[in-house]
Each structure stands twice: as C-alpha cells, then as structure tokens.
C-alpha cells in the first residue's frame, strides 16, 4: 500500500507527520514552520476552490497547497497516533 500523505487527509481528520520528502529547500521551509517528524497535524479545511488546504499544528493555522502537502508523509500506526493529545489543537 502506498504511504498516506497530508494530501489524502479529509477535513477534520488528524494524523502525525512521519517524514518529509521533496526538495531540500522546501523541506527546510516546512520544518521551519514547525512541520517536523512526530508533529501532530489536523486538516481543518480545503479552500472554496478546492486548493490550498488549511491545517492546524502546534497551536496555529497554516495553509499550503496540495502539491506541497503530498510531500508530508504521515504515520498512522498506533504508536504514531498516541502522540496526538500533546497540547496542540
């Protein structure tokens, strides 16, 4: 089975980031904004025209395009999801 990415998340769903792929530069930018392995994220909604998406992480809201969201791989194992209720919305 192919690995799930942030792109595959449905509004209201939550997950934990497992790794980032893509260009080194865009990976660094995402990491600067707080998207690092182990970060619980939550898909708030998609924009009215279908793209970009709005996610909640580390207590704030971030928007990014679906093409970027698919570089954010998710960890949906039991172990990963356990780290969810750690204070972030």
Partner 1 sequence: MALRIALIGNPNCGKTTLFNELTGSSQSVGNWPGVTVEKKVGCLKKNSGTEIIDLPGVYSLSPYTMEETVTRDYLIGERPDAVIDILDGTNLERNLYLTLQVMELGLPLVLAVNMMDEVKSRGDTLDCRTLGELLGVPAAPIVARKGEGLPELVTLAEGLARGRLRNSIHLCYDDNAERALNRILCVLADAHLPEKYPLPFCASKLLEGDDSVAEAIGLGTGKRKEIAAIRADYGRKSGPGGRETMMADARYRLIGRIVGEVVTRRRDPQEPTLSDRIDRIATGKWTAVPLFLLVMLGTFAGTFGGPGRALGKLVESGVSFLGLLLTLALNDAGAPVWVRTLFLDAVLGGVGGVLSFLPQVSLLFLFLSILEDSGYMARAAFITDRLLRRIGLTGRSFIPMLMGFGCTTPAIMAAKGMGSERERRLTILLTPFMSCSARLPIYGLFAGIFFTKHQGLVILSMYLTGMLAAVLCGLLLKGTVCRGESSAFVMELPPYRLPAPANLALHVWEKCRGFLVKAGTVIFAMSVAAWFLQNFGPPLHMVEDPAESFFGIFGRWIAPVFAPLGFGNWQSSAALLTGLAAKETVVSTLYIVFGDEGIAAAFTPVSAFSFMLFCLLYMPCMSAFVTVKKELGSWWAACRNALFQTTVAWLVAFAFYQTASMIGHIFGEGSSGRDVALAAFILAAFALIALALSVLYKSLRNFIGGDRPEGCAGCPMQHRCKQKNKP
Residues that bind partner 1 (CB under 8 A): 2, 7, 18-22, 24-34, 36-39, 45, 47-52, 54, 58-68, 70, 85-89
Question: Whole-angstrom Cα distance, residue 65 to residue 60?
Answer: 17
Give the nearer residue to partner 1 in terms of CB position, either 54 or 76.
Answer: 54
* Smallest distance, partner 1 to C-beta of residue 87, A: 6
Residue 7: strand, helix, or coil: helix
CA 18 → CA 2, 35, 51, 75, 79, distances in Å? 14, 10, 23, 5, 11
Considering the complex, what minimum distance in angstroms separates the CB of residue 58 from partner 1?
A: 4
CB of 15 to partner 1, least distance (A): 15
């Amino acid at each position: 089975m192919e690995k799930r990415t942030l792109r595959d998340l449905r509004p209201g769903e939550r997950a934990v980031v497992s790794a980032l792929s893509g260009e080194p530069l865009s990976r660094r930018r995402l990491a600067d904004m707080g998207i690092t392995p182990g970060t619980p994220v939550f898909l708030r909604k998609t924009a009215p025209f279908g793209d970009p998406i709005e996610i909640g992480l580390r207590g704030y809201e971030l928007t990014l395009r679906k093409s970027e969201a698919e570089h954010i791989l998710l960890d949906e194992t039991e172990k990963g999801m356990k780290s969810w209720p750690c204070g972030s919305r």
